[in-house]
Amino acid sequence: MTTKIREYEYLGRIIGRVLDYGQGEREFVTDLTEMNVVDLIQDMPIRHKVHMRSEAFGVLKLAQHFRIPIDSYLTNEDLAIYIMGLGCQNLTELNHTDQRAWQLLHDRGLAKKFFPDLIESDYNGEHK
């Protein structure tokens, strides 16, 4: 007997399910192809790409199912547009406003490009 354990949605559309076939045998199933998922990720709003875990968890599960690296679909340009839209004046303000964007900025080594007045010792967490 097959039991539906969980459904994943994005923007009101069911995009995947976890089914239990009995004896603990579970499977993630979707009607979407890998290319459908790539297109879906590319067409997502930037905020959803930055915050996929909270804004588009179903899409994250699809990407994991197809082993699609989600961060590769968030370009540095997308990240710049998103951060500029937040209007933060410095890294501290960005960290308080949006920790995920702050983390992506650090992970990609872009802090100095976004905030050129950045004092190197502050960026490294050192204090005078």
pLDDT in tens, 37-55: 999 999 999 999 999 999 9
Contact 76, 46 (CB under 8 A): no
Position 24 pLDDT exceeds 90? no
What percentage of the chain carries pLDDT values higher than 70? 91
Q: DSSP string of 60-91?
A: HHHHHHTT--GGGGS-HHHHHHHHHHHT-SSH
| Global pTM value | 0.79
* For range 95-102, the mean pLDDT: 95
Cα–Cα nearest to 37, from 5, 63, 58, 14: 63
Contact 58, 15 (CB under 8 A): yes
* For range 49-66, the mean pLDDT: 95
